[in-house]
Amino acid sequence: MRTRELAISAVAVSVVAAVFGTWLHGVRHTLDHLPAWSSSKLDLERGAMGAVAYVTTPVALANERLNLGPWHGFQEVTTTATHEVTGLSARVWISPGGRLDVLYAVGEWGKLGVRLSRQETYSSRTFTARPGGGFEATEALSPPPLGDDPVALELSPEGSQLAIRLDGVAIGHAPMPPPGAHRLGFRGSLADVFVDDVVVQRADGSTWSERFEPTESRLLIIVGWFAALSLLFAILVRWLVRRRGSGRPIRPVTLVLAIAMTSLMVGGPLLLADRLLLQGFHGYSTVIYRAIKPFTGYATTIEAEDAAPARLARELGALEGAPGPRVLFVGSSQIWGAGLSTTGVDVVASASAALSAAGTPTTCFNAGVSGSRVARLHSYYQADWQAWRPDVIVLNLSNNDSDPEVFREGLEAFVSDGQAQGAEVLFALEANESSSTHPSTLPNHEVMRQVAAATGVPVVDMHAAMLADRETGLMWWDFVHLTDYGQRRAGEHFAAAISPLLRGRP
pLDDT tens per residue, the chain (506 residues)? 567 767 777 777 788 888 888 888 888 899 999 999 999 999 999 999 999 999 999 999 998 999 999 999 999 999 999 999 999 999 999 999 999 999 999 999 999 999 999 998 899 999 999 999 999 999 999 999 999 999 999 999 999 999 999 999 999 999 999 999 999 999 999 999 999 999 999 999 999 999 999 988 888 888 888 888 888 777 777 776 666 555 556 666 776 777 777 777 777 787 777 776 777 888 888 988 998 888 888 888 888 888 898 899 998 888 888 878 999 999 999 999 999 998 788 999 999 999 999 998 899 999 999 999 999 999 999 999 999 999 999 999 999 999 999 999 999 999 999 999 999 999 999 999 976 778 889 999 999 999 999 999 999 999 999 999 999 999 999 999 999 999 999 999 999 999 999 986 65
Rg (the chain; Cα; Å): 28
Q: Domain ends where: 295, 315, 348?
A: 295
pLDDT > 90: percent of the chain: 68
**Which burial class, exposed, middle or buried, applies to 66 when counting CB atoms under 10 A from its CB (0-12, 13-18, 19+)?**
buried
Domain membership flag for residue 480: yes
Domain membership flag for residue 9: yes
Same domain, 199 and 222: no
Interatomic CA distance for residues 111 and 198, integer angstroms: 18
Q: Which amino acid is at 495?
A: A
Domain membership flag for residue 466: yes
pLDDT at residue 462, as a whole number: 97
Helical (H) or strand (E) element with 172: strand 169-175
Same domain, 309 and 417: yes
Interatomic CA distance for residues 74 and 187, integer angstroms: 6
To 5 degrees, how large is the angle CA 185–CA 191–CA 195? 35
Same domain, 83 and 104: yes
Contact 12, 257 (CB under 8 A): yes
One DSSP character per residue, 81-110 reads: S-B-EEEEEEEEEE-TT-EEEEEEEEETTE
Same domain, 15 and 67: no
pLDDT at residue 239, as a whole number: 73
Range of the domain at 456: 305-502
The side-by-side arrangement of strands in the sheet containing 392-397 is: 363-368, 326-331, 392-397, 424-429, 459-460
Same domain, 205 and 221: no
Interatomic CA distance for residues 274 and 25, integer angstroms: 11
To 5 degrees, how large is the angle CA 397–CA 400–CA 405? 80
Same domain, 350 and 492: yes
> Can you point out the beta strands (E) in 361-458?
363-368, 392-397, 424-429
Domain membership flag for residue 51: no
Task: Indicate the number of domains in the chain.
Answer: 3
pLDDT at residue 443, as a whole number: 94
Domain membership flag for residue 265: yes
Same domain, 478 and 412: yes
Interatomic CA distance for residues 48 and 74, integer angstroms: 10
Query: Which domain CATH number covers 405?
Result: 3.40.50.1110
Q: Domain ends where: 210, 233, 268?
A: 210
pLDDT at residue 23, as a whole number: 82
CA-closest candidate to residue 177, choices 251, 240, 114, 89: 114
Interatomic CA distance for residues 196 and 366, integer angstroms: 42
Domain membership flag for residue 135: yes
pLDDT at residue 233, as a whole number: 75
Same domain, 312 and 433: yes
Query: Which domain CATH number covers 190?
Result: 2.60.120.200
Contact 415, 452 (CB under 8 A): no
Same domain, 206 and 224: no
pLDDT at residue 268, as a whole number: 77
pLDDT tens digits, residue range 262-315? 777 777 787 777 776 777 888 888 988 998 888 888 888 888 888 898 899 998
Domain membership flag for residue 53: no
Cα separations in angstroms, 349 against 35, 244, 252, 490? 36, 74, 72, 11
Same domain, 343 and 311: yes
Give strand pairing partners of 128.
112, 137
Domain membership flag for residue 491: yes
Same domain, 263 and 407: no
Q: Domain ends where: 295, 326, 352?
A: 295
Interatomic CA distance for residues 443 and 399, integer angstroms: 10
Same domain, 360 and 290: no
